[in-house]
Structure formats: C-alpha cells, structure tokens
C-alpha cells in the first residue's frame, strides 16, 4: 500500500513537509462546490447523496493535492437521524425545534443507521476513488457541541441555553449526552468499517465551559466514544479538537485517549510545543491569515513550521476555512509549506 503521510504523523512520526488538509476544505470558497450545491437542492440533500457528497469531497483533492480528504457531511446528521427536524436556513445555518427535557426519552435511536447509510456509502465510494496515498478522515461532532444545537435549536454566541439546561435539568442532560455518545461511537465505527483511515471528533463549543462543566460534558463523553471505538478498532487514530479549550488542552489527550490534538489558532506556540511533546498535533493557522494572504499568511505559515515542524505535525487551520477565502491563497499556502520541506 502506498504511504499515507497523515497516518505516519498520527503514528508519531515527523514528516517533511508535514501533511496538509483543511477543515471545511470542501466548501463555498470553491466555485465547483457552489455548482454542485446548486444541483443538490438543500444542504442535507447534498450530505445524503453519495454521488454528490463523493464529488465535493474529492474537489479539493483534485485542485490542491491535499494529503487527506475528509468526508463531506455535517456534525448534525446525528440529531437528524434521531428524528429531530433539522434544516439549514440560508443566512442562519442549522435550525431545528429546540429540545425540551420531555423530548429526550423519545429520541428515535432504532433507525440511526438507516438514516446514515448514505454516509457510509459515500465513504465506500471515496475509498475506492481516492488516490491510494491519500488518507480518508471520518468525523462526528462531540456530544456537548451536538447537544448545544439540539437544545437551542440553532447556534448561539455562547451556548447559554445548553449551559443553563445542563445545570437546571442535570438528569435529562446526562441522558441526552449518553444518547449522543452511544450514537456517535456507533457512527464512527461504521465509518471506519466503510473505509475511513482516521476519525476526528469536533467539539466546536468546548471553549464556553467552566472547568467542572468541561470535565463532565466534554471530557467524559469523548472518553467514552474513544473507548467504544478502540474496542473495535484499537489501531485507528482519533483526532480530538476541543476548540477554544485554552488551558483545558492540558491533559485532554491523556484523559480522553485521543491520538492527536487539533489546536485552534488561539493556542500560543509555547503551549503548542508542550502539547506536541506528548504526541501529534494538528493546526493551527488562523483562517483570517489564509483569507488575507500576503505577508500575514507567510508569517502564519512560517511561525507554525518553525515552531512545530521538528515534531509530528499535521498542517491545518485552527478552524474551518471561510467562504470568502480566495482560492489562490490556498494554492499559495500549499506551495509555501511544500517548498520549505
């Protein structure tokens, strides 16, 4: 089998240049994505259409020759598969009926894989069509982050509705986290069975929690997902991305068991180096530097390569690429990383 650089790094090796992929690398900044999105109809139709989801996953690989593809889907397919009335509204994002405590017991877990089968089919097709040297990444949302959208019914600035719910309905909230945790672990296992080489757990709202809540609502559920996945696939790498976690990054790898840490752009380099001493890290270019281009982009790239390039590093952004990022800036980024070696 051809060497997959991303897997080498996840196994603790340094590669030069480091492997590159970007969160949201298949997205609205690409004209070919926008065209495919128009064909699909709704965003969910695109996620659940294996032909089109395969196509948009492959588009950034063809254009930029990234070292890994990440499945095109969304972290909220789990609540959709649990029977919540998810839709994506233009200019707003994901919207669903806010979850009440009485709704938790009624979540429909029996048809989980029936709803998600198109995702598994997409992964099978991707593994067949991807160049053999390219890694394929599957993913899920972390239970806390998924729960925030289910409770509020949409994204909010600081996820106050979910934080309040967790404190005032602790039993119901724990049941909700347990349900999402079990479903997410099964979801990742099925993705691996279909052909994913590695998986990432996105905890996009980890940064809004206090210390006790972070441990209970972020660390414990992710630890359980990792445990369940490892029971079936002990060798498959798992990337944890607790965005905004700040000092909570310390010990996160040890407590959860994840293989690698995804770092957001706010992690200082001195902290990133310390975390890399414990194992592979991924990140952490500010998406606004990529959008800006020029000297801002060059400085950002060089800072990461100078600071983390001597250890196991996956070059990525500190969060997803923005829709208004010029395509040429991505080409420039890839060239600079690979020319530096």
Q: Which residues are catalytic?
A: 24, 28, 37, 74, 149
By the 8 A CB rule, do 157 and 85 touch? no
Residues 177, 221 contacting (CB under 8 angstroms): yes
CB 262 within 8 A of CB 316: yes
DSSP code string of 270-329: HHHHHHHTTS-EEEEE-HHHHHH-HHHHHHHHHHHHHHHTTSSEEEEESSPPPTT--HHH
Coil vs helix vs strand at 90:
coil
In the sheet that holds 281-285, the strands lie side by side as 68-70, 135-141, 198-203, 238-242, 260-262, 281-285, 313-317
Do you know the residue count of the chain?
A: 341
Could you list the beta-strand ranges (E) of the chain: 68-70, 87-89, 93-95, 135-141, 198-203, 238-242, 260-262, 281-285, 313-317
65: left (phi over 0), alpha (psi -120 to 50) or beta: left
Task: At 239, give phi and psi (nearest 5°).
Answer: -100, 125
Contact predicate 60/22, CB 8 Å: yes
Give the integer Cα–Cα distance in Å for 226 and 181. 10
Peptide bond connecting 187 to the previous residue in cis, omega within 30 degrees of 0 = no
In the numeric block, the tokens 């902290």 are attached to 271
């Amino acid at each position: 089998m051809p060497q997959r650089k991303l897997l080498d790094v996840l196994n603790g090796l340094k590669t030069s240049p480091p492997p590159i992929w970007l969160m949201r690398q298949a997205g609205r900044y690409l004209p070919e994505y926008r065209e495919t999105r128009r064909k699909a109809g709704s965003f969910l139709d695109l996620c659940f259409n294996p032909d089109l989801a395969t196509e948009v996953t492959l588009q950034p690989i063809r254009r930029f020759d990234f070292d890994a593809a990440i499945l095109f889907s969304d972290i909220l397919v789990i609540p959709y598969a649990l029977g919540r009335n998810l839709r994506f509204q233009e200019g707003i994002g994901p919207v669903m009926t806010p979850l009440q405590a009485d709704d938790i017991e009624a979540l429909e877990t029996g048809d989980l894989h029936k709803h998600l089968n198109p995702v598994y089919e997409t992964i099978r097709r991707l593994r067949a069509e991807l160049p053999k040297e390219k890694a394929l990444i599957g993913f899920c949302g972390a239970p806390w982050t998924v729960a925030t959208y289910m409770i509020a019914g949409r994204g909010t600035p600081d996820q106050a509705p979910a934080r309040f719910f967790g404190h005032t309905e602790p039993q119901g909230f724990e049941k909700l986290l347990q349900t999402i945790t079990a479903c997410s672990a099964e979801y990742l296992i099925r993705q691996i069975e279909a052909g994913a080489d590695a998986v990432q757990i996105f905890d996009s709202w980890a940064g809004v929690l206090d210390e006790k809540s972070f441990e209970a609502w972020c660390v414990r559920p992710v630890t359980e997902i990792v445990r369940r996945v490892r029971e079936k696939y002990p060798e498959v790498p798992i990337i944890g991305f607790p965005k905004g976690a700040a000092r909570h990054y310390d010990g996160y790898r040890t407590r959860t068991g994840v293989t690698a840490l995804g770092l957001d752009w706010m992690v200082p380099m001195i902290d990133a180096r310390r975390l890399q001493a414990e194992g592979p890290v991924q990140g952490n270019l500010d998406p606004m530097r990529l959008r800006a281009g020029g000297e801002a982009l060059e400085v950002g790239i060089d800072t990461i390569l100078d600071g983390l390039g001597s250890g196991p590093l996956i070059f990525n952004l500190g969060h997803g690429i923005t829709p208004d990022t010029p395509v040429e800036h991505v080409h420039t980024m890839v060239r600079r990383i690979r020319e530096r070696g």
